[in-house]
């Protein structure tokens, strides 16, 4: 069954996180009024992205960008007819029409820009079709792209408190790393200000304290942390409040202690229902 | 007579009333009123106060089930209901991603109040377009140790399974 919803409620960056962590393979279709876009993933990494107004085969795209001549494009198209489902990307490399690294660079730049523009959509229907793959002639990157980098860049373009506050309701919240953040950060290029915030994360300081220590505005710190959060590098938790005490001297916030024998009785009763 | 309490929470129309009705031994005491705000777009009648169900464990022990109101303006009830609770079930309508943020807000609320044992029940798994429990875990960004369980609040065995899984979590924190 496809996953459906609206990016007003479940944002593109949230979806990219789900695709990444769920190692999803399939296509995310986005649509609003007369615009449509499709993002294809394999095991959580982006293969290609197309938009309705710019949905061209790889060879046409490479001709447009001056990387192939029309004659070479025709040669590739004819060779592709004799292939059994192989991707055009692999074929143009095999035919030595373009180097693998050069093809990756050209396609990555093109696809990244298509995806970044989608972060500007504040609403639109999404539908994720599991297992759906792109056409072999589509501009598929030789090396699928990790999405953490896309999330960070997309979040850099967010300039509204509203979306950030969904995840970071207060600057009194504490930022802490998830386990092995460096491992996950490998796919991400951090800007200087992002490194300044990254270096201040210690699991104790609040966002307001980080802003004060770095001399940055609270908005900028929250926006950067929102990016880390969305990319799955950090977690944001409430600062533990002082625990109010009951008259008995027992802390109010302590969950009631319960005996195993009592839990066992409830389990047995429910099993027998 | 000793009573213990479990709380069933979740966003509007997550299935809290149905969940309690399915397992309670008594007619569920619901205070349903005609919805007066945007919830009316979802259902004509919704729980604006709370649901109450009951399971007798023995002559000397009773389990009470409380369903929290889903609407934001009844947040103050959550704190009252959560006082002294044994555990918490967070119900999610797996077919409505527009409720996931609200679900996170509810989890945040209960966890900021106290470290309560809880499980998340991915309700309406029988519907087309239901997000699977693992997809919900990712969407809600729940840590690996929190159980996300498939659920159909209208099915007694399914509701029993959710409660038993919650009791398993409670058992791990209980004392000899």
Give the separation between CA A139 and CA A62, rounded to whole angstroms. Answer: 9
Q: Give every residue of chain A whose pLDDT is below 50, as ranges.
A: none
Encode A134-195 in three state secondary structure.
CCCCCCCCCCCECHHHHHHHHHHCCCCHHHHHHHCCCCCEEEEECCCHHHHHCCCCCCHHHH
What pLDDT, on a 0 to 100 scale, did the predictor assign at position A251? Answer: 53
Calculate how close chain B gets to A188, using CA atoms only, in Å.
Answer: 20
Interface test with A, best of B131, B160, B164 (most A CBs within 10 A): B131
Q: Which two tokens stand for residue A76?
A: 């590739």
For chain B, the residues whose C-beta falls within 8 A of a C-beta of chain A are 2, 4, 23, 55-58, 61, 63, 84, 86, 96-98, 100-101, 108, 112-117, 128-131, 134-135, 138-139, 141, 156, 160, 163-164, 167-168, 170-171, 173-176
Q: Compute the Cα dihedral for B14, B17, B18, B19 and give only its sign.
A: positive
In this complex, the residue of B4, B23, B139 whose CB is nearest that of residue A10 is: B139
Q: Determine contact, residues A267/B167, Cβ cutoff 8 Å.
A: yes
What pLDDT, on a 0 to 100 scale, did the predictor assign at position B47? Answer: 55
The counts of H helices and E strands in chain A are: 12, 7
Name chain A contacts of B4, Cβ cutoff 8 Å: 258, 262, 266
Number of Cβ within 10 Å of residue A85's Cβ equals: 7
Give the separation between CA B172 and CA B176, rounded to whole angstroms. Answer: 11
Q: Give every residue of chain B whose pLDDT is below 50, as ranges.
A: none
Instruction: Please tell me the number of Cα atoms within 13 Å of B80 on its side-chain side.
Output: 10
Give the separation between CA B130 and CA B94, rounded to whole angstroms. Answer: 5
What pLDDT, on a 0 to 100 scale, did the predictor assign at position A109? Answer: 92
Predicted structure pTM score = 0.78
Give the separation between CA B124 and CA B122, rounded to whole angstroms. Answer: 7
What pLDDT, on a 0 to 100 scale, did the predictor assign at position B111? Answer: 81
**Does the structure's ipTM exceed the value 0.90?**
no
What pLDDT, on a 0 to 100 scale, did the predictor assign at position A91? Answer: 94
- What are the Cα distances from residue B85, in Å, to A50, B16, B45, B67, B76? 51, 16, 27, 12, 16
Q: Determine contact, residues B24/B65, Cβ cutoff 8 Å.
A: yes
In sequence order, what are the residues at sequence separation of 6 or more whose Cβ sits closer than 8 angstroms to the Cβ of residue B15?
B91, B93, B123, B124, B151, B153
Contact A2 B171 (CB under 8 A): no
What pLDDT, on a 0 to 100 scale, did the predictor assign at position B42? Answer: 58
Determine the residue of chain A that is closest to B109 in CA distance. A238
The counts of H helices and E strands in chain B are: 5, 7
Interface test with B, best of A151, A256, A259, A271 (most B CBs within 10 A): A256
In this complex, the residue of A3, A22, A259 whose CB is nearest that of residue B175 is: A259
Measured in whole angstroms, the distance separating CA A166 from the mean position of its chain's CA atoms is 16
What pLDDT, on a 0 to 100 scale, did the predictor assign at position A190? Answer: 80
- Helix A12-21 / helix A218-230 crossing angle, nearest 10 deg: 40
Q: Determine contact, residues A27/A131, Cβ cutoff 8 Å.
A: no
What pLDDT, on a 0 to 100 scale, did the predictor assign at position A86? Answer: 86
What pLDDT, on a 0 to 100 scale, did the predictor assign at position A155? Answer: 78
Name chain B contacts of A10, Cβ cutoff 8 Å: 97-98, 100, 139
Q: Which two tokens stand for residue A141?
A: 């990157």
In this complex, the residue of B98, B160, B173 whose CB is nearest that of residue A6 is: B98
Q: Determine contact, residues A89/A103, Cβ cutoff 8 Å.
A: yes
In this complex, the residue of B112, B141, B175 whose CB is nearest that of residue A260 is: B175
In this complex, the residue of A18, A258, A270 whose CB is nearest that of residue B163 is: A270
Beta strand residue intervals within A203-242, DSSP E: 234-238
- What are the Cα distances from residue A139, in Å, to A51, A178, B44? 12, 35, 49
């Amino acid at each position: 069954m496809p996953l459906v919803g609206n990016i007003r409620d479940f944002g593109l960056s949230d979806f990219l996180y789900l695709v990444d962590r769920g190692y999803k393979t399939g296509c995310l279709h986005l649509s609003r009024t007369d615009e449509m876009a499709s993002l294809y993933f394999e095991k959580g990494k982006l293969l290609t992205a197309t938009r309705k107004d710019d949905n061209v085969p790889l060879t046409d795209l490479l001709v447009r960008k001056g990387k192939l001549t029309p004659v070479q494009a025709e040669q590739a198209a004819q060779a592709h007819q004799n292939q059994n489902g192989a991707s055009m990307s692999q074929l143009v490399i095999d035919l030595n029409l373009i180097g693998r690294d050069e093809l990756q660079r050209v396609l990555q730049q093109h696809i990244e820009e298509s995806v970044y523009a989608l972060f500007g959509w504040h609403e639109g229907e999404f539908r994720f079709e599991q297992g759906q793959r792109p056409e072999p002639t589509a501009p598929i990157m030789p090396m699928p792209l990790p999405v953490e980098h896309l999330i960070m860049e997309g979040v850099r373009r967010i300039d509204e408190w509203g979306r950030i506050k969904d995840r970071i309701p207060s600057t009194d919240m504490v930022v802490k790393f998830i386990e092995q953040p460096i491992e996950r950060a490998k796919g991400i290029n951090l800007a200087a200000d992002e490194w300044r915030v990254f270096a201040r994360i210690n699991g104790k300081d609040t966002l307001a304290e980080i802003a004060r220590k770095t001399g940055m505005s609270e908005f900028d710190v929250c926006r950067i942390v929102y990016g880390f959060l969305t990319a799955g590098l950090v977690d944001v938790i409430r600062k533990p409040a002082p625990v109010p005490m009951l008259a008995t001297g027992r802390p109010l916030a302590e969950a009631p202690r319960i005996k195993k024998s009592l839990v066992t009785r409830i389990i047995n009763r429910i099993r027998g229902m | 007579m000793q009573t213990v309490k479990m709380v069933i929470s979740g966003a509007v129309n997550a299935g809290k009333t149905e969940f309690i009705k399915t397992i309670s031994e008594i007619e569920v005491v619901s205070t349903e009123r005609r919805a007066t705000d945007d919830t009316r777009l979802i259902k004509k009648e919704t729980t604006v106060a709370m649901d109450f169900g009951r399971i007798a464990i023995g002559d000397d022990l009773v389990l009470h089930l409380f369903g929290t109101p889903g609407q934001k303006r009844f947040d103050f009830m959550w704190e009252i209901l959560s006082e002294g609770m044994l555990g918490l079930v967070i119900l999610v309508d797996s077919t409505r991603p527009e409720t996931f943020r609200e679900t996170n807000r509810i989890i945040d609320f209960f966890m900021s109040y106290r470290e309560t044992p809880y499980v998340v029940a991915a309700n309406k798994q029988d519907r087309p377009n239901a997000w699977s429990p693992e997809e919900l875990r990712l969407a809600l960004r729940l840590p690996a140790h929190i159980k996300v369980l498939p659920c159909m609040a209208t099915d007694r065995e399914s509701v029993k399974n959710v409660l038993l899984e919650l009791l398993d979590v409670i058992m791990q924190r209980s004392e000899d």
